[in-house]
Amino acid sequence: MPYLDLPGAELYYETAGRASAPALLLIPAGIATLRMWDEQVDALAAEHFVVRFDPRAFGGTRHEEAAPFWNHRDAIALLDHLGVAQATVVGASRGGAIAIDVALHAPERVAGLVAVSARIGGHPDVPLDAATQARFDAVEAIDPAVDAAGMLRLETELFATGAGREAGSVAPAFLARAHELARPNIAHALDDGDMRALEPPAAGRLAEITVPALVAVGEFDLAPFLVQFETLAAALPSASAHRLTGTAHLPSVERTEEFTRLLLAWLDEHGL
């Protein structure tokens, strides 16, 4: 299994495709690991060099809790390690925030940006409706030191289901897949470490990202992500925005084929 040794960490990563092909860097959501991109890798690797990794405190990556780190710097370090001069960076949710930070921190290394149900560093809080707030409160009421698996299971169901639909209306196979993707992170429930943020944060700097950008969100995603989707669509100078129907916070997993078609068509349109 490939690891990149960094100060205070061993970063787990995988690659597919020809190293000489245009590069894609895939960064997973916080309720998943790099396995969330399994269904896309073969199609993407036909014409691209696909790189994906688990950030610190997720999946197969190991790190020292006391060691300070910056996720966007880890991503650039991985590109350096693999000899990748420039990549299209694809991130989902928390991974979307990292992807945006990479584009701001090292714009010369980014050919394109894909932000799926993405967070934006420094974005103002978005109020939740009462029902969704109650669901978040239920997650936060669980002490991860006592029941990390239970906490993560409830959190995963919340994000996978989204707002405006019940868990019973979601395909059981998809929910099972969402829980499968989240399960390796149980071991990291108390393992956030000393994560540092990009300064100044992304929220006030989005107009600096001038490369082609694909911004996507699921129609049933939670309010903060719908608002941040609109923010990205409006603020990124070269953004193409898409709402995916019948899905919530994990559109690339729940609507695999649709998302893959969308991504491949966008990459082709922009010669990436």
For residue 76 the two structure tokens come to 């650039």
Percent of the chain at pLDDT > 90 equals 91
Q: What is the pTM of this model?
A: 0.97
Angle, in degrees to the nearest 10, between helices 256-269 and 38-45? 30
The CATH code of domain 3-125+191-269 reads: 3.40.50.1820
CA torsion sign, 108 to 100 to 213 to 80? positive
Closest CA to 92 of 132, 37, 164: 37
Rounded CA-CA distance 237/107 in Å is 14
DSSP 172: H
Q: What is the structure's pLDDT at 192? A: 72
Listed in sequence order, the residues at least 6 apart from 152 whose beta carbon sits closer than 8 Å to its beta carbon are: 31, 182, 183, 185, 186, 189
State pLDDT tens for residues 27-65. 999 999 999 999 999 999 999 999 999 999 999 999 887
Taking the CB of residue 115, how many other CB atoms lie within 10 A of it?
31
8 backbone φψ class: left, alpha, beta (φ>0; ψ -120 to 50)? left
Q: What is the structure's pLDDT at 123? A: 97
Rounded CA-CA distance 29/122 in Å is 18
**What DSSP element (H or E) covers 81?**
helix 71-82
Rounded to the nearest 5°, which phi and psi values hold at 67? -80, 120
Q: What is the structure's pLDDT at 67? A: 83
pLDDT band at 237 (very low <50, low <70, confident <90, very high): very high
State pLDDT tens for residues 171-215. 999 999 999 999 999 988 887 778 999 999 999 999 999 999 999
Q: What is the structure's pLDDT at 168? A: 83
pLDDT band at 98 (very low <50, low <70, confident <90, very high): very high
Weakest mean pLDDT among 51-60, 96-105, 185-194, 243-252: 185-194
User: Radius of gyration over alpha carbons of the chain, in Å?
Assistant: 17
Residue spans in the chain of domains classed CATH 3.40.50.1820:
3-125+191-269
